Amino acid sequence: MSRRLVILFAVLAAAAVGLSIYAMHLHRRVAREAQSAVEQQVAVAPAGNGPPETITLYVADDSDASVRKTQVSVVLPAERSERDRAILRTLMAQYLAAGTPHPVGAGSDIRQVYLMGEDTAVVDTNSAFADAHPAGVLAEKLTIASLVATLNANDNKIERVKILVNGQERDTLAGHADLRRFYEAGSIGQAELSWPRELGAPARGRTGRE
């Protein structure tokens, strides 16, 4: 092989190595920036123009598997679906705050709430909500229960709730809770006797042995 060819291949090899290192550097920088963006992103309810209103949140607590009723004061938009979205974002902000009793994944947010007729809401969450949600039957169930109960408590015409992720239907939230179905606010309230605490006593003791 001629000397010129050897030099050519050496230059090409060096260029390939250099480009690979630069590509890896860029890849890491993009990943760092994306992570940083996610960590800084906290759902904040959009400000409305009117006076503050008192809304009811059903906030999940992992320590005792409960969903507790609390009330907060926020300024809400006038339009119904925007208002529902703002309420759910206020709930999400509780879960994203430091020291939350029920953490969700960093960057979780409500993209949109679509109303279908009077009684049905389709809640479109972002990818981080599902992808980074703590996996577990209890953790996922508490999240869904609190979303549905909060929506129903503040917009009592809403009886059926469906949850989408990034505009798409998904099998489960994080491997456990069913996201294919519509959740009925009434049936959740009846079945979930252990939460909210205000709705009744814990479901325990039907052993059937008597």
Partner 1 sequence: MIAMFSLADRRVRLCLSLGVVVAFATAALLRHASVHAQTPEQLTIYSSQSNYSASIIDVKGVPYVGLVDVMEPLGTIDARPDGKKYKLRFTPPGGHAVEAQFNEGKDKAKVLGENLKLPANFVLQNGRGYVPLSAVPQILSKLLAKPVQLHAGARRMFIGDVAARFNVELDKSTPPKLVLSFPIAVNPTIATEPGRVRLIFRHEPVVAGEQAAYKFDDPVITGATFSEHDGEAELDVSATAPLLANFADGGKTVIVAAAPPPPAAPVASAPAPPQASQPAAAAPPKPPAAPRFLVIIDPAHGGADNGAAITPSLLEKDVVLALARRVARELTNRGIPAAMLRNSDVAISLDQRALSTNAARPALYISLHAANTGQGVHVFTSLLPAANLSRSGFLPWETAQAAFLDLSGVAAGSVAEELENRKLPNLTQSAPLRPMNNIAAPAIAIEIAPPDDKVENIAGARYEEQVAQSIAAGIAAIRSKLPEVRP
d(CA 163, CA 143): 11
Decide: 23 and 58 in contact? Cβ < 8 Å: no
Q: How many CB atoms lie within 10 A of CB 202?
A: 13
The one segment of 22-30, 36-44, 104-112, 130-138 that binds partner 1 by CB under 8 A: 130-138
18 binds partner 1 (CB under 8 A): no
Report how far apart, in Å, the C-alpha atoms of 192 and of each of 59, 124, 138, 152 are: 15, 24, 12, 15
Q: Which is nearer to partner 1, 48 or 101 (CB)?
A: 101
100 binds partner 1 (CB under 8 A): no
d(CA 85, CA 81): 6
200 binds partner 1 (CB under 8 A): no
Q: Which of 76, 144, 153, 165 binds partner 1 (CB under 8 A)?
A: 144
168 binds partner 1 (CB under 8 A): no
Report how far apart, in Å, the C-alpha atoms of 112 and of each of 87, 106, 147, 154 are: 11, 18, 13, 16
Least CB distance from residue 188 to partner 1, whole Å?
Answer: 7
Residues near partner 1, by CB under 8 A? 1-2, 4-5, 8-9, 62-65, 134-139, 141, 144, 171-172, 174-178, 180-181, 183-184, 187-188, 190-192, 194-195, 202-209
